[in-house]
């Protein structure tokens, strides 16, 4: 009995020492999880909006240095009210950390030769900022960085703005980025596992709709809209969102009618439509009463899903229109297949012998007028061993 207890203690001690050694090992692969971010607290809302409204990669305004701050200040109380109605802040950091932890745990199992792996959250307009994440990777002695955009569909305003910010940081901190090997995952709109995740989320909601009207339920894939100026410039986002939609419907064997709609328009200029709320109103006038909204361009819950889709559309607008069923499919969040998708994307990038950045990423939009965009792509090409 004493020998058994002693063996258990020795085994426990060895396990603790082994875990401590793993913890102290230098991080070999850092996965930089890039996203816009969202304010966790109400007092962060103003600075968050200010960052967006003064970023010309995100939005172009006349006399932006003056108009941007004015819009941010004016919109702060309204946006704070919305955040207060979904719990006082955005859960995007919580979800990104959860996704990163699960992904790296799996990477450490399936890709031991590139481990240990650690995720670093890199937000554009709220802490933790991109600069902070790169500094943290340097401190941890990361050897290989995988800059992983958490926007499945590439847009110059979202992914492009973040990659430009990485270039800006490197320009101010000579040599820091070059001290690590870099690879880029800039888009993944046609990832098969991503399509399976959305299909599963949709099936869950379809099963909640009475069987006699289930087949007639319209699936509305809702994505953040884009100014038509950006679309005409050649931004690939609309076509990439459409490709995700088609893959999801293939997974569902085209079981229901569907359409792609757009949400979150800001300002008076023309934006890509039809808009989600106007599409709902138009379908109800045509006699349709059953809908499922799918946040097809969002990988985790945040204000556009929890407030705009859930409160403004599913609750308020649904009540006003007198719909029969108006449900919303959950974002991928920590769906097991979604964690598999993230893991697979990083693993395939690490295994690839091709240059660490895709030719598509290095190609500017046909009517691009942003010189900084060209500088960013040239820098990434040199950094990742590609030709431009």
Give tens-digit pLDDT for 297-314: 999 999 999 999 999 999
* pLDDT for position 204: 98
Whether 149 contacts 60, CB under 8 Å: no
- Does residue 145 sit within a domain? no
Angle in degrees, 0-180, between the axes of helices 192-206 and 237-251, rounded to the nearest 10: 60
- Does residue 106 sit within a domain? no
Whether 185 contacts 69, CB under 8 Å: no
pLDDT of residue 272 exceeding 50: yes
pLDDT of residue 53 exceeding 70: yes
pLDDT of residue 238 exceeding 70: yes
- Does residue 164 sit within a domain? no
pLDDT of residue 290 exceeding 60: yes
* Chain segment 107-148, per-residue pLDDT in tens: 999 999 999 999 999 999 999 999 999 999 999 999 999 999
Residue 300 corresponds to which tokens in the numbers above?
A: 């985790």
- Does residue 12 sit within a domain? no
Confidence label for 4 from pLDDT (cuts 50, 70 and 90): very low
Whether 334 contacts 204, CB under 8 Å: no
Confidence label for 357 from pLDDT (cuts 50, 70 and 90): very high
* pLDDT for position 60: 82
Q: Which of 98, 147, 108, 145 is nearest to 25 (CA)?
A: 108
> Which residue blocks in 25-150 are alpha helix, DSSP H?
45-53, 64-84, 92-110, 130-139
Confidence label for 25 from pLDDT (cuts 50, 70 and 90): low
Residue holding tokens 């986002």?
A: 237
What does the pLDDT average to over 240-245?
Answer: 98
Output DSSP code: residue 57: T
* pLDDT for position 220: 98
Instruction: Kindly report the average pLDDT of the chain as a whole number.
Output: 92
- Does residue 1 sit within a domain? no
- Does residue 159 sit within a domain? no
Number of structural domains (the chain) is 1
Greater model confidence, 102 or 7 = 102
* pLDDT for position 11: 44
H-helix or E-strand spanning residue 341: helix 336-351
Greater model confidence, 64 or 41 = 41
* pLDDT for position 110: 97
In degrees, to the nearest 5, what angle opens at C-alpha 65 toward C-alphas 61 and 69? 90
% of the chain surpassing 90 pLDDT: 86
Q: Which domain holds residue 269?
A: 192-328
Q: Tell me, what CATH number does 248's domain have? A: 3.40.50.1400
The CA distances from residue 216 to 174, 333, 337, in Å, are 58, 28, 28
pLDDT of residue 19 exceeding 80: no
Chain-centroid distance of CA 227 in Å reads: 19
Whether 187 contacts 159, CB under 8 Å: yes
Whether 153 contacts 237, CB under 8 Å: yes
What does the pLDDT average to over 57-62?
Answer: 84
* Chain segment 163-212, per-residue pLDDT in tens: 999 999 999 998 877 889 999 999 999 999 999 999 999 999 999 999 99
- Does residue 293 sit within a domain? yes
pTM: 0.91
Q: What is the dihedral of CA 190, 108, 335, 162, to 10 degrees?
A: -50
């Amino acid at each position: 009995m004493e020998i058994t207890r002693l063996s258990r203690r020795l085994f426990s001690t060895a396990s603790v020492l082994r875990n401590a050694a793993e913890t102290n090992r230098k991080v070999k692969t850092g996965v930089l999880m890039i996203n816009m971010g969202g304010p966790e607290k109400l007092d962060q809302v103003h600075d968050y909006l200010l960052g967006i409204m003064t970023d010309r990669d995100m939005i172009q305004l006349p006399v932006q240095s003056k108009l941007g701050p004015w819009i941010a200040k004016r919109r702060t109380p309204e946006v704070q009210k919305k955040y207060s109605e979904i719990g006082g802040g955005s859960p995007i950091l919580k979800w990104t950390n959860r996704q990163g932890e699960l992904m790296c745990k799996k990477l450490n199992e399936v890709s031991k030769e590139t481990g240990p792996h650690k995720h670093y959250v890199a937000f554009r307009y709220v802490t933790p900022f991109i600069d902070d994440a790169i500094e943290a990777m340097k401190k941890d002695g990361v050897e290989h960085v995988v800059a992983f955009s958490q926007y499945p569909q590439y847009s110059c305003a979202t992914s492009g703005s973040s990659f430009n910010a990485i270039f800006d940081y490197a320009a101010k901190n000579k040599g820091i980025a070059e001290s690590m090997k870099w690879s880029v995952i800039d888009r993944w709109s046609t990832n098969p596992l991503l399509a399976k995740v959305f299909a599963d989320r949709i099936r869950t909601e379809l099963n909640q709709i009475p069987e006699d009207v289930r087949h007639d339920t319209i699936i509305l894939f809702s994505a953040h809209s884009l100014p038509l100026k950006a679309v005409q410039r050649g931004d690939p986002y609309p076509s990439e969102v459409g490709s995700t939609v088609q893959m999801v419907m293939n997974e569902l064997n085209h079981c229901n009618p569907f359409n792609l709609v757009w949400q979150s328009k800001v300002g008076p200029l023309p934006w890509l439509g039809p808009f989600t709320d106007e599409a709902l109103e138009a379908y109800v006038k045509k006699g349709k009463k059953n809908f499922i909204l799918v946040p097809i361009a969002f990988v985790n819950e945040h204000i556009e899903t929890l407030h705009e889709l859930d409160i403004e559309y599913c609750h308020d607008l649904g009540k006003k229109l007198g719909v029969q069923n108006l449900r919303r499919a959950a974002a991928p969040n920590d769906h097991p297949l979604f964690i598999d998708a993230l893991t697979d994307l990083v693993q395939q990038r690490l295994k690839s012998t091709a240059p660490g950045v895709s030719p598509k990423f290095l190609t500017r939009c046909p009517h691009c007028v942003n010189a900084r965009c060209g500088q960013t792509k040239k820098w990434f090409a040199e950094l990742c061993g590609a030709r431009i």
